[in-house]
Amino acid sequence: MNFPILSSLILLPSIGALFLMFAKEKSNETSNAIKYVALFASFVNFLISIYLWYLFDESTSSFQFIEEKEWLRGFVNYKVGIDGISILFIILTTLITPLCVISVNNTVTVRLRDFLIAILVMESVMIGVFCSLDLVVFYLFFEAGLIPMFLIIGIWGGTRRVYSAFKFFLYTLLGSVLMLVAIISIYWITGTTDIIQLYELRIDTKYQNLLWLAFFSSFAVKTPMWPVHTWLPDAHVEAPTAGSVLLAAILLKMAGYGFIRFSLGLFPIASEVFTPLVYVLSLIAIVYTSLVALMQEDMKKLIAYSSVAHMGFVTLGIFTITQQGIEGSIIQMISHGLVSAALFLCVGVVYDRMHSRLIKTYGGLVSVMPKYSILFMFFTLAALGLPGTSGFVGEFLILMGVFKDNFLVAVIASLGVILSAAYMLWLYRRVVFGKLINKDLLKISDLNNSENFILWCLAIPVLFFGFYPEPLINTIEISIKDLIEMYNFNLNMNMIEVENNG
């Protein structure tokens, strides 16, 4: 395999964006052409990533498709590669982006070209995050995503867009700068920033806690964990539909991915020390934000808070450090990526028609939008983890992992499952059922073709992986097994060292 398939995955959307730079947005024809170029670039990327999954060797946990190139001379190499953990996120990214591109048909009216450029650049960056095998390269991609997202929220967002864009940018930047300090420190401690080498070298125990905290500060903001989650509802509410979708489906997953790849992989001893902290924060996130979600009057805000709760499950699962827990977290992230994207699109559908996100505007939609009601129902059930949807698989595995580790935590976390059913079903009841009071609703039409298409594209994998999660589990199984083995090995080594010294 000499063809640089990962680099082409990263580059292709950017090249598409470059093409768009030269397009002039004047007539309808050109704006259609712009859409097709963007769609083409992102769709080809999707096909490449599926091909990548086909080529992917599931029987090994070592990194595959590695490309290495000298970059910052004698210091950092540009190095990309994937293992079972990262490939699913790449496919999630390449699946969601074309759907976002299609969704602009209905939502974005001004400066379409710039919007698509931002989305495509965003895709490049996100794929880069998931396949970089060097800390500096990772940081570069991780931060570069701020620029397009800031613009997406700020230019095409709602009324309070400026506040939200600033909050998003500054929160995330503040979290990340500490990670940069940690990355440079790792370089001076170990002499490399190459992740594969770092897995083999063991970072000295005395540094691990501080380094872990520095990485945590960045990932916790991005996840987002309580109490630094407050940027998320604002950003989601103000962002245009496609922006919310990208944010919920992929951006948040960067942090979960980072926890698995870096916190567990590089700092096992510190992870063990801080597991209670993560448990507590995750539990607060699950219970508290679920309660907050119950009280929301804005549909997007409700789903945003539910995202925080779902990500709480993810962090909980990751730090159980059990096979089931981590597998469940990854499946939960993939599932949440699909489901929350779909839910935001569902909100976008009615928002485009009524220009209101308030729940009380709606009610009785079932009689005017039957197709919509069915799909919305499906995704509502998927969000609360009904068996038969991918959400169930993830949540179930996570809870299994947690039960193994700590009974009390599992009981409290299970409360979250009930609460999520409560707020999602209540939302659905208020929006879709009930009396049709608002007369304006009578005028609106059901899903059009593109909306229908997008939602079905998301519904099929949710259903498929709900019944048959084997392909996902097979892909990640060995990588996670070896990760846990390495983790336990490091812990044991540390125990032995402590005994010898003591």
Partner 1 sequence: MDNLDFVSPEIFISLSIMFLLILGVFKKNSSNIIHNLSVGFLFITVVLILNNPFNENTKLFGESYIIDYLSSFMKILTILGGAFVLLISSRYLKLLKIFQMEYPILILCSILGMMVMISSNDLMVFYVGLELQSLALYVLASFNRDQLKSSEAGLKYFVLSALSSGLLLYGCSLIYGFSGSTNFNIIADTMSSSQYGTTFGIVFVLVGLAFKISAVPFHMWAPDVYEGSPTSVTLFFAIVPKVAALTVFIRFLYVPFINMIDQWQTILIFLSIASMIFGAVAAIGQTNLKRLVAYSSISHIGYALAGLSVGTNEGIQSSIVYISIYLIMNLGLFSCMFMMKRNDEYYETIDDLSGLSKNHPLLSLSFLIILFSLAGIPPLAGFFAKFYVFKSVIEQSMYFLAIVGLLSTVIAAFYYLRIIKIIYFDEEKEKYDTDHGVWLKISLTFSTLLILFYFIFPSKLVEMASRINII
By CB under 8 A, name the one of 178, 220, 252, 402 that touches partner 1: 178
Q: Give the shortest CB-66-to-partner 1 separation in angstroms.
A: 20
Question: If residue 77 lies in a helix (H) or strand (E), which one and from where to where?
Answer: strand 76-82
By CB under 8 A, name the one of 19, 56, 187, 426 that touches partner 1: 187
Neighbour tally for 72: CB within 10 Å? 12
Tell me whether residue 138 or residue 396 sits nearer to partner 1 (CB atom): 138
Q: Enumerate residues 240-279 that contact partner 1 by CB under 8 A.
A: none
Q: Give the shortest CB-70-to-partner 1 separation in angstroms.
A: 8
How many binding residues for partner 1 (CB under 8 A)? 32
Tell me whether residue 117 or residue 476 sits nearer to partner 1 (CB atom): 117
382 to 92, 233, 272, 326: CA distances (angstroms): 17, 21, 32, 20
Report the amino acid identity of residue 224: P
108 to 20, 102, 158, 352: CA distances (angstroms): 16, 11, 12, 10
Question: How far, in Å, CA of 105 to CA of 103, rounded?
Answer: 5
Q: Give the shortest CB-192-to-partner 1 separation in angstroms.
A: 14
Q: Enumerate residues 135-174 that contact partner 1 by CB under 8 A.
A: 136, 139-140, 143-144, 146-147, 150-151, 154-155, 161-162, 165-166, 169-170, 173-174
Tell me whether residue 155 or residue 444 sits nearer to partner 1 (CB atom): 155
Placement of tokens 């990640």 in the chain: 476
Tell me whether residue 191 or residue 370 sits nearer to partner 1 (CB atom): 191
Q: Give the shortest CB-468-to-partner 1 separation in angstroms.
A: 40
Among the residue ranges 134-142, 304-312, 341-349, 383-391, the one whose residues contact partner 1 (CB under 8 A): 134-142
By CB under 8 A, name the one of 18, 44, 66, 184 that touches partner 1: 184
Told to check if 181 binds partner 1 by CB under 8 A, we report yes
Question: How far, in Å, CA of 462 to CA of 475, rounded?
Answer: 17
Tell me whether residue 181 or residue 280 sits nearer to partner 1 (CB atom): 181
| Chain Cα centroid distance, residue 45 | 18
Go through the chain and tell me how many residues it has. Answer: 502
Phi and psi at 201, nearest 5°, equal -70, 140
Report the amino acid identity of residue 197: Q
Q: Give the shortest CB-274-to-partner 1 separation in angstroms.
A: 20
DSSP-derived secondary structure letter, 68: E
Tell me whether residue 77 or residue 420 sits nearer to partner 1 (CB atom): 77
Q: Give the shortest CB-155-to-partner 1 separation in angstroms.
A: 6
Residue 398: exposure state from Cβ atoms within 10 A (0-12, 13-18, ≥19) = buried
Binding letters toward partner 1, positions 61-80, x by CB under 8 A: ---------xxxx-------
Question: How far, in Å, CA of 5 to CA of 80, rounded?
Answer: 10
Half-sphere exposure of 30 (CA within 13 A, CB side): 12
Tell me whether residue 75 or residue 489 sits nearer to partner 1 (CB atom): 75
Torsion of CA 103, 105, 109, 115, to 10 degrees: 50
Placement of tokens 């902290």 in the chain: 277
Tell me whether residue 193 or residue 490 sits nearer to partner 1 (CB atom): 193
Q: Give the shortest CB-165-to-partner 1 separation in angstroms.
A: 7
Pairing outcome for strands 64-72 and 76-82: antiparallel
- Is 477 within 8 Å of 56 (Cβ atoms)? no
Tell me whether residue 143 or residue 327 sits nearer to partner 1 (CB atom): 143
Q: Give the shortest CB-111-to-partner 1 separation in angstroms.
A: 8
Tell me whether residue 242 or residue 345 sits nearer to partner 1 (CB atom): 242
Q: Give the shortest CB-356-to-partner 1 separation in angstroms.
A: 22
Among the residue ranges 31-39, 184-192, 231-239, 316-324, the one whose residues contact partner 1 (CB under 8 A): 184-192
Residue 109: exposure state from Cβ atoms within 10 A (0-12, 13-18, ≥19) = exposed
Angle formed by the axes of helices 205-222 and 161-190, nearest 10°: 160
Tell me whether residue 145 or residue 394 sits nearer to partner 1 (CB atom): 145
Tell me whether residue 95 or residue 178 sits nearer to partner 1 (CB atom): 178
Q: Which two tokens stand for residue 309?
A: 């709760």
Torsion of CA 354, 355, 356, 361, to 10 degrees: -20
Among the residue ranges 182-190, 433-441, 442-450, 467-475, the one whose residues contact partner 1 (CB under 8 A): 182-190
- Is 111 within 8 Å of 152 (Cβ atoms)? no
By CB under 8 A, name the one of 3, 22, 188, 407 that touches partner 1: 188
Beta bridge partners of residue 70, listed in sequence order: 77
* SS3 of residue 288 by DSSP: helix
Q: Enumerate residues 107-126 that contact partner 1 by CB under 8 A.
A: 114
Q: Give the shortest CB-188-to-partner 1 separation in angstroms.
A: 5
DSSP-derived secondary structure letter, 108: -
List interacting residues with partner 1 (CB under 8 A).
70-73, 114, 136, 139-140, 143-144, 146-147, 150-151, 154-155, 161-162, 165-166, 169-170, 173-174, 177-178, 180-181, 184-185, 187-188
